[in-house]
Chains A and B, each alone.
Chain A
Amino acid sequence: MNRMELLKYDIIIIGSGIAGFKAAIHASQASKDLKIAVISKLHAMRSHSVSAEGGVSAVLYGKERNDSYDLHAYDTIKGSDYLADQDSVEILVKNAPQEIAFFDHIGVPWNRDEKGIVMQRPFGGMTIPRTVFAADETGFFMMRALYDETKSLGNVDIFHEHFVTTLLMKNKEFAGAYAINLADGSEKIFEAKACIIATGGFARIYGFTTTAHSSTGDGTALAYNAGASLKDMEFVQFHPTGLVPNGILITEAARGEGGYLRNAKGRRFMEDYAKAKMELAPRDIISRAIITEIEKGNGIKHGESDMEHVQLDLTHLDPKKLDERLPMVKDIAMKTIGVDPGKEPLPVRPAAHFTMGGINSDNEGRVLDGAEKAMRGLWAAGEAGCVSVHGANRLGSNSLSECAVWGRIAGEEAAKYAKTQRFADEKILSQLISDEEGRLKSILEKSGDVNPYELKEQLNRVMDTYFYVYRSTGKMKKGIAQLAKIKKQFYSVRVEDKGRIYNTNFRDVLELGNMICLADIVAQCAANRKESRGAHAMLEYTKRDDKKWLKHTIAFKSGDSTQLSYSQVRITRWKPQERKY
């Protein structure tokens, strides 16, 4: 029965998306003597970063194209509805360009023009074309290059399909992680000096979402339970163009390349909401516009799903452009709904896409606790973390640059730290390990009667209904009450599969536990913020309220409940202004 294996690594990285692999590469490069493990709950090359389509933002040509770091920073801060920390944004924009070169050197085929110059395309909320891309499979190309690179490194081991169930903490210091190997159900203890959490976002708490099934926020929940604080969890980005009925992402690049949004009357309704930027306004603004149109009766009802939607019209685009720059849009639409976007408009509506909130982390990527003090041995990077550069609303293509930049920073910082540290005392670990073993056993062997998949559907329905694009105090109150019921029901969840080999049923239950934990925090943070800012739009409080609410929400665990506090936004050179597009 006991097939537990004890492994020692200087640094473990949980998650194998762009941020995770970047961290591994730079930690590995920092010192050949460091032993590094990348632990992925999937086959490591299959993380959700592969689904990033449109591109990655960076100032490449500066003066030649009238671009500058300041302009990129300004766009990002304005896009964030002034909730981003401005010193962090400056780190992002200054470091993004070298990441484009990095990825070129490991094999990413950036689209180039006839002269061989790397191209940039327009994206929502960016003043000028600033988004570098590899067709419309940018994330996929970056991921494949990163995987191919990482597997060639002598001091990095990749653990595919290992699910981390808890962080082993000695007081508030990281000491290791407990993982289950999905293939045979055996347990692995990773004893380590430093840990980088790069597990991505948690938009799967919603039902209608663009994200992969894997985006369940496991690392965010692990950190929360280990004493870390979470920041700005109420800000969930709804991407305006989730394909109806499956929610699959139709990239913003479709509008960047000239696509129109039309309502039931065929009118380009963005004229009424963002006259200057039209379809290239930021995502929060377009998502609200779509829902407003639908509520005005200007939506179209989808036959099979009953979903109301608007249309994304690409029929006027040059077919060559569609094939060369948006091949995936065409492929997805043809294969999943049988529509050729060159001939017919696509049915779209806002879908949960990105979680701006996440593990509270500082500019070095260090994880902060409830008192906003750095925790020893813990880093976060990518969507799992919240530095924050996206504030209340992320601009498209800023997430890949964030992953690349903070992947590198966290990798290098964790390497510096690990070189000076010793492993924790094994005796302390053994108690933590047997506690976790007991907890998992009780979940696996419980004789409950709740079907976890039905419970997940309930969770999704609550989030889709009460915490969507527009929120109101009354609706959220209802939502919170229902979440409490779901939380209770989770204690009676049944794991039907009692086997050890590739037990996805058990994994699904553990993921569901993490999602319920995070959904509850999102709900509480959202209900408490009485203003409208970025992606958080309240019916009763329609305006941004800088006097009371220009601050980050900080959520942390206190006993069995979540405690909220607030912290200052770092404003440096860009004073909050009215946000118009």
Chain B
Amino acid sequence: MKSEHASNYIFLLYGSIAGIPLLMILYVIFRLIGNGAAAFAAEALLVPAFFVFGILSFIEIFGHEESVPAASLLLKAEGAQYHEGTDSGKSVYLNVKKFNPAKGQFERFSYKVKITRFTSVLDALLTAKAKHDNTLSIRYSCRMGTCGSCGMVVNGKPVLACQTNALDSSKDGAVEIGPMQAHPLLKDLATNFDEFFEEHKSVDSTLYRRNRNEKYKARKVFDMDREEMEKFLPYSYCIMCGLCQDACPVSNSNGNFLGPQALAQVYRYHADKRDQKGTERLEAVDSLSGAWGCEFAGACSKACPKGVDPASAIQLLKSEIMKAKMAGKFKEGA
């Protein structure tokens, strides 16, 4: 689940960390037993090992976010095409941490754009893309907080860029922008959602009816009152933006955890009186990678741009699982 950009060279770093003392020991042993040629070979190998260690630890410490100096790119970003608008807006710097898939690492770019008090971070980024850097990759569509495309990290917080005001976000004239961290990186600010969608799919998040033909040819709506609707309605606003996953400390450390989005949707369909799945759906998430993996940090609910509160959904899910277990409804629990 973690981004894998570091994995290309990290084994080399660990290799050199383990290799250097090993080569030293071998050198001493060969010296002691008087094998001069072998000792020389070990000594010779130590030089590149130290070299690799030095370079890689430098990258590991400094290279993740700024493998290219920001200042030199700043000049390029402020190329000839940029000109000030006529309106009374202000300029801000968008400091963008772009993921470069060819190099497998982050690069920092800074774009100066003109904004007004109404400009969203997404609009500002699109201006930067149009005027300074056509290659900038961003996922976006509705620009009104409904499609769930533009989740990213602005000033350290996972947010929808279209719902975040650029001027309010600027500190000392700059906005810090990077991709979400808990999803694999694709390019620049776009991340890969395959796994996230797979998890959502795997938990059977569909309103289940035994008779599908009847379901699709229905002529009447269900009897349902407001109270019954309230049970699932708060959890049905999920736009699948992935921000809750990005905020969740468990998702960030345990790749097997289904995550707050999928689990909240299990509860959403379980709590819907129209659904006929019964406890089967609960049984499937009665595990540490499921509902019991949640440590109730609540970060997901804070991050959710639609106020879904996955944390509370998961706690309700846990209590439903316990109830079903005690009633002997699970196969192995019976």
Contacts and interface: CB of A to CB of B under 8 A. Distances in A.
Contacts of B190: 502, 504
7 contacts: A46-B148, A105-B222, A116-B224, A148-B206, A246-B123, A304-B87, A501-B186
Contact of A148 (B133, B207, B223, B237): B207
A564 B318 CA distance: 64
Contact of B187 (A303, A304, A452, A499): A499
Contact of B193 (A43, A112, A338): A43
B121 to A, nearest CB: 12
Contacts of B102: 499, 501
A332 interface: yes
B218 A499 contact: no
A149 B207 contact: yes
Interface size bracket, B side: 35 or more
Specify which of B102, B117, B131, B222 lies most central, judged by the most chain A CB atoms within 10 Å of its CB: B222
A177 B73 CA distance: 40
B151 to A, nearest CB: 11
Contacts of A268: none
A169 interface: no
Contact of A98 (B88, B120, B146, B218): B218
B215 A501 contact: no
Contact of B221 (A29, A104, A183, A306): A104
A76 B19 CA distance: 79
A304 B118 CA distance: 9
A422 B186 CA distance: 38
A331 B272 contact: no
Contacts of A337: 118
B331 interface: no
Interface size bracket, A side: 35 or more
A503 B236 CA distance: 32
B134 A451 contact: yes
B243 to A, nearest CB: 14
Given A304-B117, A501-B101, A501-B187, A51 B207 contact: no
Interface in B225-282: 225-226, 229, 232-233, 236-240, 265, 269, 272, 274
Interface string B4-47: 00000000000000000000000000000000000000000000
Contacts of A305: 87, 116
B238 A29 contact: no
A179 B148 CA distance: 24
A51 B215 CA distance: 26
A114 interface: yes
A335 interface: yes
A101 B224 CA distance: 13
Contacts of B123: 246
B140 interface: yes
Contact of A101 (B136, B218, B232): B218
B209 interface: yes
Contacts of A137: 146, 237
A106 B207 contact: yes
B216 A105 contact: yes
B138 interface: yes
A29 B214 CA distance: 11
Specify which of B87, B116, B147, B274 lies most central, judged by the most chain A CB atoms within 10 Å of its CB: B147
A141 B236 contact: yes
B2 interface: no
Contacts of B55: none
Interface string B120-159: 1001000001110111111111111111110000000000
Contacts of B135: 496-497, 499, 505
A536 interface: no
B298 interface: no
Interface string A83-97: 000000000000001
A505 B190 CA distance: 13
Contact of A212 (B147, B197, B217): B147
Contacts of A45: 148, 240
Contact of A499 (B101, B215, B217, B236): B101
Nearest to B87: A304
A567 interface: no
A496 B134 contact: yes
Contact of A112 (B137, B206, B224): B224
Interface in B93-126: 101-102, 116-118, 120, 123
Contacts of B131: 453
B149 A453 contact: no
A105 B141 contact: no
Interface of B: 81, 87-89, 101-102, 116-118, 120, 123, 129-131, 133-149, 163, 165, 186-188, 190, 192-193, 197, 201, 204-207, 209, 212-213, 215-226, 229, 232-233, 236-240, 265, 269, 272, 274
A107 B269 contact: yes
Rank and list the top 7 A-B pairs by shortest CB-CB distance, nearest first. Answer: A453-B130, A497-B135, A496-B134, A107-B207, A502-B187, A46-B147, A104-B221
Contacts of B212: 29
Contacts of A47: 147
A469 B245 CA distance: 44
A102 B216 contact: yes
Given A140-B146, A144-B238, 9 more contacts: A148-B207, A246-B118, A303-B88, A306-B87, A335-B145, A451-B134, A453-B134, A494-B134, A505-B137
A213 B142 CA distance: 6
B84 to A, nearest CB: 15
Contact of A160 (B193, B213, B224, B238): B193
B223 A116 contact: yes
Given A42-B147, A451-B130, A112 B142 contact: no
Contacts of A26: 216
Nearest to B196: A43
B224 A51 contact: no
B206 A152 contact: yes
A301 interface: no
Contacts of A501: 101-102, 186-187
Specify which of B192, B193, B209, B236 lies most central, judged by the most chain A CB atoms within 10 Å of its CB: B236
Contacts of B236: 107, 109, 141, 144
A580 interface: no
A305 B101 CA distance: 38
Contacts of A306: 87
Specify which of B81, B207, B220 lies most central, judged by the most chain A CB atoms within 10 Å of its CB: B207
Specify which of A47, A137, A501 lies most central, judged by the most chain B CB atoms within 10 Å of its CB: A501
B274 A105 contact: yes
A475 B60 CA distance: 61
Nearest to A25: B216
Contacts of B207: 105-107, 145, 148-149
Interface in A163-183: 183
B221 A502 contact: no
Contacts of A98: 217-219
B219 to A, nearest CB: 5
A183 B186 contact: yes
A454 interface: yes
Nearest to B117: A304
Nearest to B142: A212
A105 B215 contact: yes
B145 A100 contact: no
A337 B144 CA distance: 12
Given A141-B236, A304-B118, A335-B163, A50 B222 contact: no
A51 B144 CA distance: 8
Given A148-B205, A160-B197, A505 B142 contact: no
Contacts of B201: 151-152
